[in-house]
Amino acid sequence: MTGVLRSEWTKFRSAPGAVWLLVAVVAVTVAGGAATAATLRCPSTGCTGDPAEISLTGIQLSQAVVAIVAALMVGGEYRTNMIHTTLAATPQRIRMLIAKTAVVAGVVALAGAVAVPAGVLVGRPMLADRGLTLALSDAAVQRAAFGSVLYLVLIALLTVGVAVIARDAAAAIGVVLSLLYVFAILAQMVPDAELRENLREIAPMTAGLAIQATVDLASLPVSPWRGLAVLAAWAFGSLVVGGVLLKARDA
Amino acid sequence: MSEATIVVDGLRKRFGSTQALDGMTFTVQPGRITGFIGPNGAGKSTTMRVILGLDRPDSGAALVGGQPYRTLRRPLCHLGSLLDAAALQPSRTARNHLLWIAHSQGLGARRVDAVIEEAGLQGVARRAAGGFSLGMRQRLGIAMALLGDPPMLMLDEPFNGMDPEGIIWMRGFLRSLARQGRAVLVSSHLMSELQDAASQVVIVGRGRVLADTAVADLLRTSSSLEEAYLKLTRDAVEYRAANGTEAAR
């Protein structure tokens, strides 16, 4: 297994642009949070809102970059037919998938572990100017931060699974972004209140981002950790389907 | 059975309405070059993909040193292969391409540098492989096939895109591999490329073996390898026509 892992790592670090995409994950996370904090409009009675969620708004954008990173790791091999070489070198296909998934998860976790604290630290003084306190010692804030890193990792896993199913990077990116954004928007448009809530509970993005909430938890469609578990279920499901197809199909 | 033998036994594989493999059966023995010859669409590449575990046959089996390829832990140390020289990420350097493959087999950079030299790629190893001519990519594919110092090699159309000098180099190179006792299977659709190199030929058409014989024996009944090949594959075409009439009945 170590050989396959090392192989996938070598592939990743020698892929053009891979490192820059990780830098982009950090930049977009920080910039997104800062822009949201800077443009926050508050009533004369003072700002209300969830400071942790605001400072981590950038995740909603950087998840798209994460999806691109993960989709290219898989889809790029299919576009070039390099997958044939990969599977000739590691004919145990599930082992290959596990190694690839582990490398993608690892690099995204690393990018997230830089991006999230950076986003919080940049957003914090901007929010303080508007009278919102982001307490770093608050357990809920720490959970939101740690959970946001996990959120990005789960988005990467979801995308790896979808890309293995689709065998095409562009298609995988399209499917994942639809699943994240379009599902969330459609859920918002449903007139029936109960159905709307139900959809928000199972939509990977709205459910998963519940992990960022630090105030007014009772109003959430799902509790933070349960919400992240919903996203994890999506990711796990796509990887299982991807694994079954990878094993069964001709390469 | 020798450890370095590739056995293809009764492979059948259908893609839609095409019977790509129709009972393909032959054995590749160590210490010689076995030419794998047939017209386009005869099932050469599909057979090789089945041997590598990339395609699953509908029935039949392929064994590499007595084992199915998919069960091998460091497969490139058993069977080195070159199937599609263009199947690489074009912006990765040749050396990095070989490096990730080496790592997957538990091999290191030293082995990579050794095969780079063997394949004559020293000058271009740190260039993006996407800029290589097809002939250079074939050499890169050869380097890859040699990484695990395997007792068996399988090369699909390795002469493709090679200039005359490259063809001569490749022939000599294949011969030296066989002299070292390795089993070498080389597909080609051009007889002239394999002339004087292969000692055994497996001639295929329509997904099955038409002839599996020593080159010396073929030359006893035909004036040249080419003539023998044309005679055999013409029969295959006639067989197809007869078969079609039968199906229509």
Q: Residue B2: its pLDDT value, please?
A: 54
Binary contact (B106, A85; C-beta < 8 A): no
Q: Which of B89, B97, B105, B132 to mutate to test the interface with A (most CBs of A within 10 A)?
A: B89
Binary contact (B87, A85; C-beta < 8 A): yes
Count of domains forming chain A: 1
Instruction: Find, among B147, B204, B195, the residue nearest to B174 by Cα.
Output: B195
Rounded Cα distance, B90 and A161, in Å: 24
The residue range of the domain holding B96 is: 89-150
Burial class (CB within 10 angstroms; exposed 0-12, middle 13-18, buried 19+) of A232: buried
Question: Is residue A235 over pLDDT 70?
Answer: yes
- Identify any residues that bridge with B7 across adjacent strands, giving them in sequence order: B27, B63
Instruction: Find, among B83, B89, B80, B159, the residue nearest to B115 by Cα.
Output: B80
Is the same domain home to B138 and B163?
A: no
The pLDDT of A139-157, averaged and rounded, is: 97
Minimum-distance CB partner of A11 among B91, B100, B106: B100
Residue A79: CB atoms within 10 A of its CB come to 14
* Assigned domain for B44 exists: yes
- Which of B150, B172, B194 is where one domain is finished? B150
> Cα A155–A156–A159 angle (5° rounding)?
85
- Which of B110, B126, B150 is where one domain is finished? B150
Dump pLDDT digits (tens) for B97-154.
999 999 999 999 999 999 999 999 999 999 999 999 988 999 999 999 999 999 999 9
Q: Which residue of B has its CA nearest to A250?
A: B55
- Which of B100, B135, B150 is where one domain is finished? B150
**Residues from chain A contacting residue B101 (CB–CB below 8 Å):** 7, 85, 89
Binary contact (B53, A16; C-beta < 8 A): no
Is the same domain home to B57 and B14?
A: yes
The residue range of the domain holding A30 is: 2-248
The pLDDT of A145-166, averaged and rounded, is: 98
The pLDDT of A227-241, averaged and rounded, is: 98
Residues of A with CB under 8 A from a CB of B: 2-4, 6-11, 14-16, 76-77, 80-92, 250-251
Minimum-distance CB partner of B54 among A7, A8, A87: A87
Is the same domain home to B167 and B246?
A: yes
pLDDT band at B175 (very low <50, low <70, confident <90, very high): very high
Is the same domain home to B159 and B249?
A: yes
Is the same domain home to B159 and B246?
A: yes
* Assigned domain for B76 exists: no
**What spatial distance separates the first Cα and last Cα of chain B, rounded to whole Å?**
45
Rounded Cα distance, A99 and A94, in Å: 9
Binary contact (B90, A80; C-beta < 8 A): yes
Q: Which residue of A has its CA nearest to B96?
A: A14
Give how far Cα B129 sits from Cα of A3, A210, A248, B96, B122, Å. Answer: 23, 45, 31, 9, 13
Minimum-distance CB partner of A84 among B74, B84, B92: B84
Q: What is the dihedral of CA A133, A137, A141, A146, to 10 degrees?
A: 140
Q: Which of A80, A81, A98, A103 to mutate to test the interface with B (most CBs of B within 10 A)?
A: A80
Is the same domain home to B33 and B128?
A: no
* Assigned domain for B83 exists: no
Question: Is residue A90 over pLDDT 50?
Answer: yes
The pLDDT of B217-245, averaged and rounded, is: 70
* Assigned domain for B74 exists: no
Q: Which of B74, B100, B111, B154 to mutate to test the interface with A (most CBs of A within 10 A)?
A: B100
Instruction: Provide the edge-to-edge strand list for the sheet that holds B59-64.
Output: B18-28, B6-15, B59-64
**Residues from chain A contacting residue B96 (CB–CB below 8 Å):** 10, 14
Is the same domain home to B248 and B159?
A: yes
Question: Is residue B241 over pLDDT 70?
Answer: no
Rounded Cα distance, A175 and A162, in Å: 8
The pLDDT of A89-118, averaged and rounded, is: 97
Is the same domain home to B144 and B158?
A: no
Structure token digits, residue B213: 């014989």
Dump pLDDT digits (tens) for B2-54.
579 999 999 999 999 999 999 999 999 999 999 999 888 899 999 999 999 99
Query: Where is pLDDT greater, at B42 or B189?
Result: B42
Q: State CA B177 to chain mean position distance.
A: 14
Dump pLDDT digits (tens) for A107-141.
999 999 999 999 999 999 999 988 898 889 999 99
In single-letter form, the type of residue at position B1 comes to M
Dump pLDDT digits (tens) for B58-106.
999 999 999 999 999 999 999 999 998 888 999 999 999 999 999 999 9
* Assigned domain for B25 exists: yes
Residue-level length of chain A: 251
* Assigned domain for B202 exists: yes
Q: Which residue of B has its CA nearest to A91?
A: B70
Is the same domain home to B140 and B182?
A: no
Minimal CA separation from B12 to chain A, in Å = 14
Note whether A92 and A245 are within 8 A (CB). Answer: no
* Assigned domain for B77 exists: no
**Residues from chain A contacting residue B88 (CB–CB below 8 Å):** 80, 82, 85
Note whether B77 and B83 are within 8 A (CB). Answer: no
Binary contact (B89, A81; C-beta < 8 A): no
Instruction: Find, among B150, B133, B226, B159, the residue nearest to B184 by Cα.
Output: B150
The pLDDT of A75-89, averaged and rounded, is: 95
The pLDDT of A185-209, averaged and rounded, is: 90
Structure token digits, residue A152: 């990005």
Rg (CA), chain B: 18
**What spatial distance separates the first Cα and last Cα of chain A, rounded to whole Å?**
21
CATH number reported for the structural domain that contains residue B215 in this entry = 3.40.50.300
Is the same domain home to B41 and B95?
A: no
Count of domains forming chain B: 2
Binary contact (A14, B99; C-beta < 8 A): yes
Burial class (CB within 10 angstroms; exposed 0-12, middle 13-18, buried 19+) of B76: buried
Q: Residue B245: its pLDDT value, please?
A: 41
pLDDT band at B218 (very low <50, low <70, confident <90, very high): confident
* Assigned domain for B79 exists: no
